[in-house]
C-alpha cells in the first residue's frame, strides 16, 4: 500500500483484495484518521477474508468521517463496531453482503449516531426484522434516504416503524427482495402512512410481490413524488401504471422493468404522458 502520510487524505477506497488480511490498513487509517471523510472497503468474501488484523483499530477516532461503505466482508468484528462508534459526524452508511453482522451492531453503534441520514442494508440475513424495527424507533437522527434488502424478506412492521418515525424526513426509499412477509395488502399500509407527510420523492420496489395495484394507486396521491422504479414486480398491472402517470401531478420519471403483467402498450402510453425519455423499461 502506498505511503501517503504527508498528504491531507480525504477519501480511501479499497476492493477486490481476496487474500489481503488487513495488516497495513490500520496504520494507514491511523495516519489519516483526522482528515478522512469517506471510507469504502469491499473485500472478496468468497475466499473467507476476515480482515483479522484489525484488532488494533479500536483506539482510532474519525472526527470528520461522514461516509462509510462496507461490502463483502465475512466478519464485521467488534473492532469495526468500535470504529463506527467513534465517528461523530457519520451521515452515510452502507452495509452490503455482510453475513456475520448481528442485531447488536445496530443497537450498540448506529442508533447512537446523531447525523445519520442515509442508510443502506443489503443482503445481511442475520439482522432480524425486530432489531431493525427498534433501530428505526431509537436512532437519534432522522433518516432521509433508506435502501433495504435484508436478504430474506422484509416484514411489514419494519416498514411501518420506518414510516412512523422517519416519515417527516424520508425522501428516498428503495425496497428490494424476492420475498415479503406481510399482509395481502403488500406495501399499501406503508405508502398510506407516508402520504400525509408529503415528503417522499422517490420509491424503488424490486423483485417483490408486495407492490399491488392499490399500492400504486396510493402513490398517485403523494404530492412530491418525482420518480418511481418497479423491477420484477409481477402484481403490477397496466391499469395501475396508467392511473399513476395520469393522476400524479408531480411524477417526472418512471421505470417499469420485467414486470410480466405490464404490456408494451402501457409503456408507450406512459411515454405519451410523461415524455419518451422519462419512461424506462429496462
Q: Enter the pTM of the model.
A: 0.90
Highest-scoring range by mean pLDDT, 66-80, 123-137, 171-185? 123-137
Instruction: Look at the alpha carbons of 37, 43, 45, 50 in this order and tell me if their dihedral is positive or negative.
Output: negative
Q: Which three cell numbers stand for residue 67?
A: 461516509
Q: What is the pLDDT of residues 96-123, one digit of tens each?
A: 887 777 787 787 788 888 999 999 998 8
- Retrieve residue 148's grid coordinates: 433495504
What's the pLDDT score for residue 71? 85
Handedness of CA 27, 32, 34, 36 (dihedral sign): negative
Residues 211 and 233: beta-carbon distance below 8 Å: yes
Cα distance between residue 224 and residue 94, in whole Å? 26
Q: In which element (H, E) is residue 87 found?
A: none
**127 or 100: which carries more pLDDT confidence?**
127
Measured on CA atoms in the order 168, 173, 177, 178, is the torsion positive or negative? positive
Return the percent helix, strand and coil in the chain, to nearest 5: 35, 20, 45
C-alpha gyration radius of the chain: 21
What would the pLDDT profile of 15-25 be if each residue is shown by its tens digit? 766 666 666 77
Query: How confident is the model over 164-180, as pLDDT tens digits?
Result: 999 999 999 999 875 55
In 3D, which of 16, 7, 5, 64 has the Cα closest to residue 40?
Answer: 16
The mean pLDDT of 261-271, rounded to a whole number, is: 98
What is the per-residue pLDDT across 175-223, written as a single tens digit (0 to 9) for each? Answer: 987 555 555 678 999 999 999 999 999 999 998 888 999 999 999 999 9
Is 138 a residue whose pLDDT tops 50? Answer: yes
The vertex-26 CA angle with 109 and 87, nearest 5°, equals 30
CB 112 within 8 A of CB 81: no
Q: Is 52 helix (H, G, I), strand (E, B) or coil?
A: helix
What does the pLDDT read at residue 48? 44
| Mean pLDDT taken over the chain | 85
Are the C-beta atoms of residues 110 and 83 closer than 8 Å to each other?
no
pLDDT of residue 185: 76
Q: CA torsion sign, 103 to 109 to 112 to 113? A: negative
What separation, in Å, do the N-terminal and C-terminal C-alpha atoms of the chain show? 40
38-42, 83-87, 155-159, 203-207: least confidently modelled range: 83-87
**Residue 47: pLDDT over 50:** no
For residue 128, list its beta bridge partners.
Answer: none
Q: Distance between CA atoms of 221 and 227, rounded to whole angstroms?
A: 13
Give me the pLDDT at residue 81, please. Answer: 67
pLDDT at 68: 92
Amino acid at each position: 500500500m502506498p505511503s501517503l502520510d504527508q498528504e491531507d487524505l480525504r477519501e480511501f477506497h479499497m476492493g477486490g483484495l481476496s487474500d489481503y488480511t488487513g495488516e497495513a490498513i490500520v496504520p494507514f487509517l491511523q495516519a489519516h484518521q483526522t482528515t478522512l471523510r469517506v471510507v469504502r472497503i469491499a473485500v472478496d468474501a468468497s475466499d473467507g477474508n476476515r480482515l483479522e488484523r484489525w484488532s488494533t483499530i479500536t483506539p482510532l477516532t474519525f472526527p470528520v468521517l461522514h461516509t462509510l461503505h462496507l461490502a463483502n466482508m465475512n466478519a464485521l468484528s467488534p473492532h469495526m463496531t468500535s470504529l463506527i462508534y467513534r465517528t461523530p459526524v457519520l451521515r452515510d452508511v452502507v452495509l452490503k453482503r455482510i453475513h456475520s453482522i448481528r442485531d447488536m451492531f445496530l443497537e450498540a453503534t448506529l442508533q447512537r449516531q446523531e447525523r445519520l441520514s442515509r442508510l443502506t442494508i443489503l443482503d445481511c440475513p442475520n439482522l432480524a426484522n425486530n432489531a431493525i424495527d427498534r433501530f428505526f424507533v431509537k436512532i437519534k437522527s432522522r433518516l432521509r434516504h433508506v435502501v433495504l434488502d435484508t436478504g430474506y424478506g422484509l416484514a411489514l412492521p419494519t416498514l411501518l416503524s420506518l414510516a412512523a418515525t422517519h416519515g417527516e424526513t424520508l425522501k428516498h426509499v428503495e425496497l428490494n427482495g424476492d420475498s415479503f412477509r406481510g399482509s395481502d395488502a403488500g406495501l399499501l399500509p406503508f405508502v398510506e402512512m407516508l402520504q400525509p407527510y408529503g415528503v417522499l420523492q422517490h420509491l424503488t420496489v424490486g423483485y417483490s410481490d408486495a407492490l399491488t395495484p392499490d399500492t400504486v394507486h396510493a402513490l398517485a396521491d403523494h404530492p412530491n413524488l418525482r420518480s418511481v422504479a418497479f423491477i420484477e414486480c409481477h402484481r403490477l398491472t397496466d391499469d395501475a401504471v396508467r392511473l399513476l402517470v395520469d393522476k400524479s401531478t408531480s411524477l417526472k420519471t418512471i421505470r417499469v422493468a420485467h414486470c410480466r403483467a405490464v404490456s408494451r402498450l402501457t409503456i408507450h402510453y406512459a411515454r405519451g404522458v410523461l415524455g419518451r425519455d422519462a419512461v424506462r423499461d429496462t
